[in-house]
Structure 1
Amino acid sequence: MLPRSGDVLHVTRTASVQFLRPIMFRVIRVHDWPTYDGWVWLDGYELNASGDAVNRRSIYVQAAGLRELRSAPATRQHTVRPRRPVTRTPVRVG
């Protein structure tokens, strides 16, 4: 599973040995930096128990070891409305 921006993850020791104490992590960005196969660099926020951001972090983890708690909202397509024609009227000066 490759996370996306906005996903909330449960990061444990299965993702990397540095997470002896598991954390909740909200992803800001997934870097495309070259890494070992199956590993990724993530930028995001460590979350407390109530879901508030407490610390900004960059983490290096195995994608297979991440567990998704909440996925990012689905992207909405931008709707383009036709423009109304502008009515111009003469302006009196003086």
Structure 2
Amino acid sequence: MLPRSGDVLHVTRAASVQFLKPIMFRVIRVHDWPTYDGWVWLDGYELDATGDAVNRRSIFVQAAGLRQLQAAAQPRQHTAHSRRPVARTPVRVG
């Protein structure tokens, strides 16, 4: 399963050998760039222990090696508001 914008991930060596020291990562965007099967490019922020963003990064990882720590909030349903009728001024002819 691919991560979504807003997800917080634990990125370890299981996702890519570059992560000898694991990081927490908040996803901004998942690129749809062509890659090797099972690999993805992610844009986001590396987080510190308190969850604050400390570094913006783009990372190339195996989706199967990512561990989700916190899911993004579900998008709110948009409610359609009915339009108020427009007051029309009668047109006088003649």
TM-score (norm. length: structure 1): 0.89
Q: Which residue is equivalent to 1:85?
A: 85
| Alpha-carbon distance between aligned partners in 2 of 1:54 and 1:86, rounded to the nearest angstrom | 51
Task: Give the AA of the match of 2:77.
Answer: Q
Q: Which residue is equivalent to 1:5?
A: 5
| Alpha-carbon distance between aligned partners in 2 of 1:81 and 1:37, rounded to the nearest angstrom | 44
Aligned-pair RMSD on alpha carbons? 1.2
Kindly state the Cα deviation for residue 48 of structure 1 after the two structures are TM-superposed.
0.5
| Alpha-carbon distance between aligned partners in 2 of 1:76 and 1:27, rounded to the nearest angstrom | 19
Q: Which residue is equivalent to 1:74?
A: 74
Alpha-carbon deviations, 1:9-57, whole Å to 9, x = none? 0000000000000000000000111111100000000000110111000
Task: Give the AA of the match of 1:63.
Answer: A
Gaps spanning 5+ residues in structure 2: where? 90-94
| Aligned pairs for 1:44-83 within 5 A | 44-83=44-83
| Alpha-carbon distance between aligned partners in 2 of 1:68 and 1:36, rounded to the nearest angstrom | 21
Kindly state the Cα deviation for residue 81 of structure 1 after the two structures are TM-superposed.
1.1
Taking only the aligned residue pairs, the percentage that are identical comes to 83
Gaps spanning 5+ residues in structure 1: where? 90-94
2:22 is aligned with 1:19: no
Aligned residues: 89
SS of the equivalent of 2:84 reads coil
